[in-house]
Structure 1
């Protein structure tokens, strides 16, 4: 009798976990689909032959004392951006990546997906790029909605990643139990 009650209790928990697993999966299907596709693309970005992530071009000198000052490079980058892409773009910098070993400096902007690579020593424009990897990353982590709506502190990204992280944890626990539970019941 005790075994029968224990088995009924285990079966009840299995049904509950199956319902939670199914409901969560159905409710968050599209988000898991987006995360999986963008995650795959981000994993392959360095192996995309410049489609997702542009290659890093090489400048003329890797010796920093031969380089132009950063403020001069910044001014040149902004000039190139406005001349080669559009005069309407913002020149607000998100980050400056110094690639000493390549003799190159990358300028990445805040309000659009354009980036520039300049020779650190001469200031010559090496490459203008659309930063598709940044777009894919913004879709992947939900921050694209923060940028679109203009939230002050990336609240949508935090909520989105929290929900998706907890959902993945819940999927892992319920999925494990859906695999292990029947084995345990057969064993008993």
Structure 2
């Protein structure tokens, strides 16, 4: 008789884990779909032949003594953005990426996912790039909502990554139990 009671408790626990697993999966299906697709794209970005991650172009000199001052390069990048893309675009920078080994500087703008690569020594344009990888990354980690709603402190990203991390942990635990529980029940009977 005690074996039957133990088996019933294990079966009840298994049903609870199955329900949690199924409900979590149903509620978060679209988010898991988005995270998986964007994760795949980000994993392949360096092998996308410039479609996702722009190629880094080579400048004329890797000797920093021969480079123009950063403020001159910045002015060139801003002029190129307004002349080549649109005079309406914001020139607020997200970052400046100095690639000494390539003799190149990237200016990545915050409001529109555009970037400009300049030769560090001459200030000449090497490439204008649409930063698709940055956009995909913002979707992947939920910060795209912070970007569009202009929130401080990345609150949407924090909530999104917390929910998705806890959901993945829940899936791992319940999924393991859904695999192991029946094996344990068969072994005990």
TM range (shorter): over 0.9
Task: Determine the structure 1 residue equivalent to 2:37.
Answer: 37
Task: Determine the structure 2 residue equivalent to 1:80.
Answer: 80
Whether 1:186 aligns to 2:186 is yes
Task: Determine the structure 1 residue equivalent to 2:148.
Answer: 148
Number of matched residues?
188
2: CA distance, partners of 1:172 / 1:41 = 23
Task: Determine the structure 2 residue equivalent to 1:70.
Answer: 70
Task: Determine the structure 1 residue equivalent to 2:5.
Answer: 5
1: CA distance, partners of 2:117 / 2:129 = 8
Post-superposition offset of 1:152: 1.4
Post-superposition offset of 1:25: 0.1
2: CA distance, partners of 1:79 / 1:56 = 20
Task: Determine the structure 2 residue equivalent to 1:172.
Answer: 172
TM-score, with length taken from structure 1: 0.99
SS in 2 for 1:107: strand
- Structure 2 unaligned segments of length 5 or more: list them: none
TM-score, with length taken from structure 2: 0.98
Q: Deviations over 1:48-82 (max 9, x none)?
A: 01000111000000011110111111111111111
2: CA distance, partners of 1:151 / 1:90 = 18
SS in 2 for 1:83: helix
SS in 1 for 2:177: helix
1: CA distance, partners of 2:149 / 2:70 = 33
1:19-38, aligned counterparts within 5 Å? 19-38=19-38
- Structure 1 unaligned segments of length 5 or more: list them: none
TM superposition outliers: structure 1 runs of 4+ over 2 Å = none
2: CA distance, partners of 1:11 / 1:82 = 66
Post-superposition offset of 1:150: 1.6
